């Protein structure tokens, strides 16, 4: 009965596993689920930059290429002044970059079009929650005490507008001494040195883009974006009927109750008393009559009792000595 009960429990576990697997398969393999997943992970990234010599634009191009089709640009902020809000609203996330020219200045440190919109046009934007990552260029040797300071200001303006800032980078491997772009113990974004460490640019860009992906820059949508198109519901494929968990439990309880009755019935039924095995009959070595032997192993004596119980004989078994007799 115990083995039968174990089989029933294994059957129940198998039914639950099958039902769960069918449900999971239906959800993850339905066309509706797949298309929704594609839409959620197809958010566009706008890459924007300001530049004076073209170096920041080159870095922006590398970043856009590393993202691939999900990124648009790069777009020079000088070309969209007066229309910043509309341009930013087209994208789920922004990657923005700047050089540093006004070294040591408290504000307007980029020397580009960013300086003209930071505290004017941008202050009217409603982009709370938008994901933003900052990159910047600087000379970490000649301007080691003010390395890429402009990136820090770019970061602070977007953070002040309530944006979700991503892409902070370790200072390890850089040649600077100080920087206004440091937040905590990290840079507030990707900093590049096209003068002294140009050979590291491609690797740093590739690593940073992968970091942004892991931080969720492609996940979902944020404020100011165009809503995703409505998805048509596709009927779920038919699934073979499976007993509910409640029905299965009820059936198992009934079977266990029947097994319990059988066990109780077996325990209460009278059992035939066991009969001791009869001692074997042996022939007396003298008169040939059949006697039953009863041997005392301690004394070595055997009592032979006749079948009718009226006579008996004794014989003695001589114990052999363990010692050998010399010839």
Question: Domain segments of the chain: what residues?
Answer: 2-30+236-265, 37-214, 282-316
- Residue 277: pLDDT band (50, 70, 90) is very low
The pLDDT value recorded for residue 257 is: 78
The pLDDT value recorded for residue 55 is: 94
**Of 2, 8, 12, 23, whose CA–CA distance to 240 is shortest?**
23
Q: How many Å apart are CA 195 and CA 268, to the nearest integer?
A: 97
The gap from C-alpha 54 to its chain's centroid, in whole angstroms, comes to 43
Q: How many Å apart are CA 302 and CA 315, to the nearest integer?
A: 5
Percent of the chain whose pLDDT exceeds 70: 64
Work out the average pLDDT over 137-154: 94
Q: 245 pLDDT exceeds 60?
A: yes
Residue 55 and residue 99 in contact, taking contact as beta carbons nearer than 8 Å: yes
Per CATH, which fold does 37-214 belong to? Rossmann fold (3.40.50)
The pLDDT value recorded for residue 293 is: 76
The more confident residue out of 281 and 254 is 254
**What is the four-CA torsion angle of 192, 195, 198, 199, rounded to 10 degrees?**
-140
Q: What are residue 206's phi and psi, to 5 degrees?
A: -60, -45
The pLDDT value recorded for residue 311 is: 64
Contacts of 123 (CB under 8 A, 6+ apart): 161
Contacts of 172 (CB under 8 A, 6+ apart): none
Q: Which helix or strand (DSSP H or E) is residue 296 part of?
A: strand 290-296
DSSP state of 165: E
CB atoms within 10 A of CB 272: 5
For 45-82, write each residue's pLDDT tens digit: 999 999 989 999 999 999 999 999 999 999 999 999 99
For 102-136, write each residue's pLDDT tens digit: 877 888 989 899 999 999 999 999 999 999 999 99
Q: Compute the Cα dihedral for 108, 79, 125, 36 and give only its sign.
A: negative
- Residue 201: pLDDT band (50, 70, 90) is very high
> From residue 185, how far is each of 181, 190, 215 by CA, in Å?
10, 14, 18
The pLDDT value recorded for residue 292 is: 76
User: How many helices, marked H, and strands, marked E, lie in the chain?
Assistant: 8, 13
> From residue 153, how far is each of 97, 105, 123, 160 by CA, in Å?
11, 10, 14, 10
Burial of 288 per CB tally in 10 Å (0-12, 13-18, 19+): exposed
> From residue 176, how far is each of 51, 56, 138, 192, 210 by CA, in Å?
21, 19, 10, 11, 24
């Amino acid at each position: 009965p115990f083995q039968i009960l174990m089989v029933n429990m294994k059957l129940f576990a198998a039914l639950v596993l099958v039902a769960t697997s069918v449900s999971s398969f239906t959800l993850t393999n339905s066309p509706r689920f797949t298309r929704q997943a594609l839409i959620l992970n197809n958010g566009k990234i706008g890459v924007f930059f300001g530049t004076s010599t073209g170096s920041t634009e080159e870095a922006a191009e590398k970043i856009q290429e590393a993202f691939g089709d999900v990124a648009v640009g790069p777009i020079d902020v000088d070309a969209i002044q007066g229309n910043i809000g509309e341009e930013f609203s087209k994208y789920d996330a922004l990657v923005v970059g700047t050089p540093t020219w006004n070294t040591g200045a408290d504000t307007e440190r980029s020397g580009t079009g960013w300086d003209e919109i930071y505290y004017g046009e941008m202050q009217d934007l409603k982009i709370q929650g938008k994901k933003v990552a900052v990159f910047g260029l600087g000379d970490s040797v000649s301007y080691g005490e003010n390395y890429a300071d402009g990136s820090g200001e770019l970061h602070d303006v977007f953070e002040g507008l309530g944006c979700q800032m991503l892409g902070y980078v370790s200072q390890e491997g850089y040649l600077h001494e100080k920087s206004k772009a440091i937040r905590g113990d990290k840079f507030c974004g990707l900093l590049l040195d096209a003068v002294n460490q140009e050979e590291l640019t491609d690797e740093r860009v590739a690593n940073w883009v992968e970091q942004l992906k892991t931080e969720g820059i492609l996940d979902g949508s944020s404020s100011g974006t165009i809503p995703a198109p409505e998805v048509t519901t596709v009927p779920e494929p038919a699934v073979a009927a499976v007993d509910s968990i409640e029905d299965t439990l009820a059936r198992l309880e009934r079977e266990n109750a029947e097994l319990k009755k059988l066990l109780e019935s077996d325990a209460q039924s009278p059992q035939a008393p066991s009969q001791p095995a009869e001692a074997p009959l042996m022939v007396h070595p003298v008169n040939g009559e059949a006697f039953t032997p009863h041997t005392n192993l301690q004394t070595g004596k055997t009592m032979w009792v006749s079948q009718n119980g009226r006579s008996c004989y004794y014989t003695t078994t001589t114990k052999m000595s363990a010692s050998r007799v010399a010839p």
